[in-house]
Structure 1
Amino acid sequence: MSVSIDIAGLRPERVAVVPSPLAELGMALHALSEPGHHPRLQGWATGVTAGLDPHLADRMCEADFLWRTTFSDIFLPYAGVPGGGTLPGATLAEELDLLDKLTDEQFVDAALEFITCSLAYDTQPSGVLSDASVRPRALEAAAYRGPQQVRFTQRLLDDPPGVRGWVRRFLEDCEEAFFADAWSRLCHQLAADARHKTELLRHRGLSEALAAVSPVVTLDEAAGRIVVDKLLEGRTSVQGGGLLLVPTSFGWPHLSVLHRPGWQPVLHYPVGSPDPASPPSVEQLTLRMTALSHPVRMRICRYLARSAYTTSELAQVQGMTAPEISRHLAVLKKAGLVTTRRRGRYVLHQLDVAVVARLGSDFLEGVLR
């Protein structure tokens, strides 16, 4: 399984390595919402959370589905600007101006991907604002996630400019509250990494630069494509435009590939080395590795690492029946890898990231990649 980027016709000067303050803020919000994904940042996350203004903390909870799973493509708006050559801005304000350049259809489509967890990512945009038949399906999908998602989806569909303004004000307040200080410390590291990758591009070529990004990113020169080893299938193309490589410090272990149709491909890659993981007991390792030996359960883990899902939702995204999914979930639960909780009449399942981390950082990075 992999995500591939067709780079036929890609000119060397159209490959850029540039840090993005908006993308880094998106990953900072993700780390605050899912500290279990980022054990190295738990001290930072605890300190920021303790010092947040209560009103800002409430607003953060109001829309955390936009960054809790990983983060929405609205944090990479330059990729959606027509022409395929727009670069990230030097400041958060510049990138928020780029967010304003997205059409309402682009903004809503990108936001709904994470609000509902059901709209297809690698197909053409759904036209939710122009196609009256799509709107009820979006609201129905949001209802599976909870009343908070329903309210936000309704606002998004009724008043995209209003929600866009709300998002901008929220992100500006996050910058003032905690991100400006974090960015002042991180921007030099990210700029240095970008300079290093740019030098590799100039003097050794794209293959060497991609190898320095991650060993799971490879260049198939014969086929004219970049292949990223991930637990999902996806395909995109530079379509005569460019390719962006965006480094992140907050983002480890997530290696994200923006492959939304019509958007410029982006590799959002982590810098820095992971901490060594504590080994599990032999008994735990045997039980858990047996549970994870099936490819379907590996794919289920990828989804459950990012968000809680009902059995029906997993059946939909996996293209399987609910009883089949239930059998795989039973194996994962027996191994202690999955937790469940009830919300009304729904039972939600989620991967226990702390337990999975004890299997080793390689597996954890694999399911979160």
Structure 2
Amino acid sequence: MLRIHFTEADLSRIELAPSADPMWELLLSSYRLRRPEGAPVFGRWRDSTRAVLPPNGRALLDLIPSHGYCPDFLTPPATVATIDEGIDALAATPAEDVREDLAELAKDHRLPQWADRVSDGDVRVLGTAVRDYFQRGIAPHWKHITKVVGRDLSRRNETLQVAGPGRLLSTLHPAARWRAPVLEVEFPVDQDLHLNGRGLRLIPAFFCMGMPTTYKNPKLPPVLVYSVGHWTALGAKRAEDTGAAVQALIGETRARILRTLAEEDLNTTDLARRLKIAPATASEHASVLRQAGLIESRHRGRSTMHRASPLGLQLLLGPMAR
């Protein structure tokens, strides 16, 4: 369990990343490349990337075990929008921090020979590996990645501005529970993170799956990286498995409404038109789904916009391997 301890000052200093982070996406994608879970979303990407990843890109995986500790310096805390900025941030990492991270990794993992050069301050070989991996494995999909992450950021920012930090934290992720002043997150190890007025940066990640993640070093600027919903990618494949069960649970019309709102935010009129039902019927069903926590509604001008909540998405997706 990861426990993130907030003060009042920390709640006012929660921020969302401005966009997808290429370094976090690179790191997390390396897990998707080698772990079997998530085939409905990542299976085709995994197969195609394995086929084209160059030797330098594969060498990067020697510094990133498929499970367990990964060096914090591979995901610099600086805000980066491009892979070149990420590589520059890597190069700016203090040599002492790099050596400490590599020493931690070496406790349970055999380091490649070229890691000695990185430890001695020569990050060129690492920069080459990072760039080659990114260009083949991630760059071809970057437009889609930023679109999916951007949609999540838009929703989270609106929740933060309209409903406040407590609502944002309580609806962040199915694996996270907000019990003020502590955010409890399912985590592979027992860890406490005391923010002490530093605030918290929230980073949605396309290649994150299952439990959120963070740095091991508590001295680094606090971050929490969490998975986006992936309904757009998963829905068609998972609906066949979960559709009957969801329909039996909440009824055919409400199940159709929930699936529709998982794909797109709609106002009541457009929702009714899409499903070919009366606006009053759409409004009534939306009210029930909202009271159950399966959708979220907000006013936009004279309209009320609806969207599936994290809980609603989880219901639609059903049990997912982690």
Taking structure 1 as the reference length, the TM-score comes to: 0.57
- 1:290-369 to structure 2, matched below 5 A, reads 362=319, 364-365=321-322
Selected match of 1:269 from 226, 229, 240: 226
- Percent of residue pairs identical: 19
In structure 2, the partner of 1:186 is 145
Q: Are 2:27 and 2:75, in contact at CA under 8 Å, matched by a contact in 1? A: no
User: Partner of 1:77: helix, strand, or coil?
Assistant: coil
User: Partner of 2:198: helix, strand, or coil?
Assistant: coil
- 1:73-222 to structure 2, matched below 5 A, reads 73-78=72-77, 86=78, 88-117=79-108, 142=109, 145=110, 149=111, 151-152=113-114, 154-157=116-119, 159=120, 161-162=121-122, 164-221=123-180
Q: Root-mean-square deviation (CA), in Å?
A: 2.9
In structure 2, the partner of 1:120 is none
Selected match of 2:187 from 227, 230, 233: 230
Taking a change above 3 Å as real, the CA distance of residues 154 and 176 of structure 1, as seen in their structure-2 partners, is closer
Identify unmatched segments of 5+ residues in structure 2. 243-316
Offset of 1:5 from its aligned partner?
1.3
Taking a change above 3 Å as real, the CA distance of residues 37 and 75 of structure 1, as seen in their structure-2 partners, is farther
Offset of 1:108 from its aligned partner?
2.5
User: Partner of 1:10: helix, strand, or coil?
Assistant: helix
Offset of 1:204 from its aligned partner?
1.0
User: Partner of 1:151: helix, strand, or coil?
Assistant: coil
Identify unmatched segments of 5+ residues in structure 1. 79-85, 118-141, 280-359
Deviations 1:140-193, CA, capped at 9 Å, x for gaps = xx5xx4xxx263554444x1x11x222112112223223211112210110121
- 1:3-18 to structure 2, matched below 5 A, reads 3-18=2-17
Q: Are 1:5 and 1:235, in contact at CA under 8 Å, matched by a contact in 2? A: yes
Give the counterpart letter for 2:217 in structure 1. Answer: R
Q: Are 1:63 and 1:152, in contact at CA under 8 Å, matched by a contact in 2? A: no
Taking a change above 3 Å as real, the CA distance of residues 215 and 63 of structure 1, as seen in their structure-2 partners, is closer
In structure 1, the partner of 2:30 is 29
In structure 1, the partner of 2:38 is 38
Deviations 1:55-85, CA, capped at 9 Å, x for gaps = 33xx51464342522654223311xxxxxxx
In structure 2, the partner of 1:129 is none
Give the counterpart letter for 2:163 in structure 1. Answer: R
Larger radius of gyration: 2
The number of equivalent residue pairs is: 238
Q: Could you list the runs of 4 or more consecutive aligned residues of structure 1 that deviate by over 6 angstroms after TM superposition?
A: none
Taking a change above 3 Å as real, the CA distance of residues 246 and 45 of structure 1, as seen in their structure-2 partners, is same
Offset of 1:198 from its aligned partner?
1.2
* Counterparts of 1:259 and 1:265, CA distance in 2: 10
Taking a change above 3 Å as real, the CA distance of residues 231 and 12 of structure 1, as seen in their structure-2 partners, is closer
Taking a change above 3 Å as real, the CA distance of residues 115 and 36 of structure 1, as seen in their structure-2 partners, is farther
Deviates more, 1:8-17 or 1:204-213: 8-17
Taking structure 2 as the reference length, the TM-score comes to: 0.65
Give the counterpart letter for 2:136 in structure 1. Answer: A
